[in-house]
Structure 1
Amino acid sequence: MHQTDATRDDSGRIRALWAEMARGWAAGDAAHFAANFTQDCDFTTVRGDKPPGRDGIEAGHAALFDGPYAGTVLDARIVAIRFLGPDLATVEAESTVVAPGGEPLTTTHALAVVERTPEHPWLIRAFHNMIPAPRPVQPARDTEREPVPDGAAARPKLRHLALVARDPERLARFYSSVFAMELFHRDPDGSCFLSDGYLSLALIKHQLDGDTPVGMNHFGFHITDTAATSEALTAAGTPKPAERFTNRPFAEYRAMDPEGNWFDLSEHGFGGP
């Protein structure tokens, strides 16, 4: 068999791993999904969690299939396969979680390492998942007519607004159609996140049993130094910013101004997780 034929056969076996993951997902079968990974797979979720090997992958996905992603399907696509040797390759893949009604919930990108193993022709040895942020649109700057002020590069920048909405999906369609904003993420609860390439807009699903009013909820600053900003806030007589314990990794700290208006502080920005 020629090398090209062998590589073609191995590419098909590697692609079959993602097809089997999609079948396991559609069946809500976490064991079937996890069987495509090695027992000691190094798996990183979009939130940076690292479940311990195949058992952790199975347990984590069992919780997803019984909870927020019950009844969903996975549209998995291989973008590229690169063979590093006869028994090792890297795989770039995209996956979209699709709701029972056909609405895409979220799209992730992953870089994986696959390995030929004694127990199976190919299994996934490492898998790093992420939700890509939209590419910001940077307007051209005429430096001769518009010089950059001293200290402007380090100045905190308003980059985020959050609204509590009764129907985030309807509002997302409104802002997408009228203002050409890009929807880059959906939460399982229906919250939607959009961007114009400069500022992100969170449309947070209103909980009927909650006390949070509909409308403006908070805004956010992209900063370069959390410690320095915290020191400036406390010097101004406001409480020290509190670390956000949340499953939405869009900001690290929550603070408030002298009249109690909430705002977020983030060093990594608001374009996406």
Structure 2
Amino acid sequence: MQQPDETNAPAHDGTEDDTRAIRALWADMARGWAAGDAALFAASFAEDCDFTTVRGDKPLGRSGIAAGHDALFHGPYAGTVLDARVVAVRFLRPDLATVEAESTINAPDGNPLITTHALAVVERTAQGHWSISAFHNMVPAPRPPQPGPAPDRKETPVGEPTAARPRVRHLAIVARDPEKLAEFYSSVFAMELFHRDPDGSCFLSDGYFSLALIKHRLDGETPAGFNHFGFHIEDTAATTGALVAAGTPKPAERFTDRPFAEYRAMDPEGNWFDLSEHGFGGPRPPSDSTGS
């Protein structure tokens, strides 16, 4: 694992040994991830660490962090590798510092699956050991378009706030060969691959619309072909009220490690669709600005 040598720490606030010890916390996390050892991964965190996942979940301390990652290591991220990079260390006091870090989860074949950014608070204990007391993880949002003339098409970019009217921004297809199909849509329609799941599912975007190519499972009941679509909405509570008033079931929260839609709903015919306030990910749309 390669880590930048530079930090933002004033020379008089933290020693080189302190900086090395802080960086070692992330190296230990990466070793625990590679070994599928949730206890080793969680050992870098304080017993009462305030941890926030990319979905906003808050596991209870070190034991909750270990339990959550054990499920990941035996589930969707089995066999994956974590590349953890400390970007900056800033000492607030000799025994207290903030850390900016980036992490990329790589599939067993080496392909990157997802990159997250984190801001952490680390403290030195009375015994002289450093540990992470607070950790907030997130998936970076697509950058907004640069200022300039408005494009001819008037769609709202993927990941941008919507107007009051919900917009269809997502389509999912169950595919027998997601990689081959992704290559088709990339080469013919210039769509950009922005995420892979460990099972080979591929997610593409044209900057306005996301396309999920979900790996078909031989032991599953979901047939190949169209699976669901998704609305980018402004207010989940208001949309939920409208759906219930229309006689459909209340949307169900999606418990998934994919950083996309938050809720699943269905129409009166039983067709599935997703609901998301934050959008469906993907690259920012092309800008018509000459300064881009």
Please give the TM-score of this superposition, normalised by the length of structure 2.
0.77
CA RMSD in angstroms, aligned pairs only: 3.2
The one-letter code sitting in structure 1 at the alignment partner of 2:134 is A
| Cα distance per residue 1:18-44 (max 9 Å; x no partner) | 112112222222222222111111112
Deviates more, 1:62-71 or 1:215-224: 62-71
In structure 2, the residue matched to 1:199 is 209
Q: Is the 8 A contact 1:194 1:200 kept in 2?
A: yes
Aligned partner of 2:91 among 83, 90, 95: 83
Aligned partner of 1:263 among 261, 273, 278: 273
Over 3 Å counting, the alpha-carbon distance change for 1:159 and 1:82 in structure 2 is: same
Aligned partner of 1:26 among 1, 12, 34: 34
CA distance in 2, matches of 1:233, 1:31: 43
CA distance in 1, matches of 2:153, 2:39: 59
Superposition map of 1:1-273 within 5 A:
3-4=11-12, 6-137=14-145, 140-142=148-150, 153-230=163-240, 239-247=248-256, 248=258, 249-256=260-267, 260-271=270-281
The one-letter code sitting in structure 2 at the alignment partner of 1:18 is W
Deviation at 1:124, TM superposition (A): 0.7
Deviation at 1:215, TM superposition (A): 1.9
**Aligned residue pairs: how many?**
265
Greater RCO structure (CA 8 Å; 6+ sep): 2
CA distance in 2, matches of 1:168, 1:119: 51
Over 3 Å counting, the alpha-carbon distance change for 1:67 and 1:212 in structure 2 is: closer
Q: Which has the larger share of helix?
A: 1
The one-letter code sitting in structure 2 at the alignment partner of 1:161 is L
- Segments of structure 2 that go 5 or more residues without pairing to the other structure are 1-9, 156-161, 283-292
Over 3 Å counting, the alpha-carbon distance change for 1:121 and 1:232 in structure 2 is: closer
Please give the TM-score of this superposition, normalised by the length of structure 1.
0.81
Secondary structure of the equivalent of 2:170?
Answer: strand
- Among all aligned residue pairs of Structure 1 and Structure 2, give the percentage whose two residues are the same amino acid: 71
Deviates more, 1:9-18 or 1:225-234: 225-234
Deviates more, 1:226-235 or 1:78-87: 226-235
CA distance in 1, matches of 2:18, 2:183: 42
